[in-house]
Structure 1
Amino acid sequence: MCDYLMKIILGVSIRCGLSWFEVNTLLIPMHLQDLKHWILSKLNLLNWTLEVYDSLHHEGPHNYKVREALECMSKFIPMLADRISLFEFKPRNPPRTFPIPITIMQGIPQQENG
């Protein structure tokens, strides 16, 4: 799994893909199996933030599951970035391998079908 993710980061695993060294923003669609719902996360490689766009934003268990799914990514990406020396090109303040902050975006359009 780690090798596959590193190939994605380096831009060799996806046709027409670019290396993370060449881009500043990544849009990452994610399907949350438990919720049977898609969300979009935006990873900014310049300020190392992770924004979440969820059309079913709710308080409580829903947000907990969304945050839980993203926490894994927020912890794992910095470790991979450190391993491939991405921080040399996309600097991050120390401690560089700390989790990326997650923000669930507010005020976005919401689904009416609940």
Structure 2
Amino acid sequence: MKIILGVCIQFGLSWFEVNTLLIPMHLQDLKHWVLAKLYLQNWTLEVYDSLHHESPHNYNVREELECMPKFIPMLADRISLFEFKIRNPLGTYPIPVNIMQDIPRQENG
């Protein structure tokens, strides 16, 4: 919660002061990093994955991110962020997750 409030990060801003968050995420089972981009205006999460999207990998990425669409709104609710960043309750819990397709990819697999 200190991170969300901007207290424990040097030069950090609280979620109340920004509209977009970049969240680097390590997918433990895949031993791979992805970047999640959270839009606080419409409460959507975009995931940028540099590996080629093949069915098993895509499924595994979604499976590892499964808690985020539920966890983020619970944190936001806990600190009363929704009073400042309006949401449609039906449209933001769980928040939509889009794995972005048309992005540059690693050549080394």
TM norm. shorter chain > 0.5? yes
* CA distance, structure 2, for counterparts of residue 96 and residue 60 of structure 1: 27
RMSD: 1.4
TM-score by length of structure 1 reads 0.88
* CA distance, structure 2, for counterparts of residue 63 and residue 25 of structure 1: 24
Deviation at 1:49?
0.3
Equivalent pairs: percent with the same residue?
83
Task: Tell me which residue corresponds to 2:31.
Answer: 36
Deviation at 1:20?
0.2
The count of aligned residue pairs is 109
1:72 to 67, 83, 88: 67
* CA distance, structure 1, for counterparts of residue 92 and residue 79 of structure 2: 12
Write out per-residue CA displacement over residues 14-47 of structure 1, whole angstroms, 9 at most, x where no aligned residue. Answer: 1111100000000001111222211101000001
TM-score by length of structure 2 reads 0.92
* CA distance, structure 2, for counterparts of residue 72 and residue 57 of structure 1: 23
Q: Does residue 77 of structure 2 align to residue 82 of structure 1?
A: yes
Matches within 5 A, 1:1-114: 6-95=1-90, 98-114=93-109
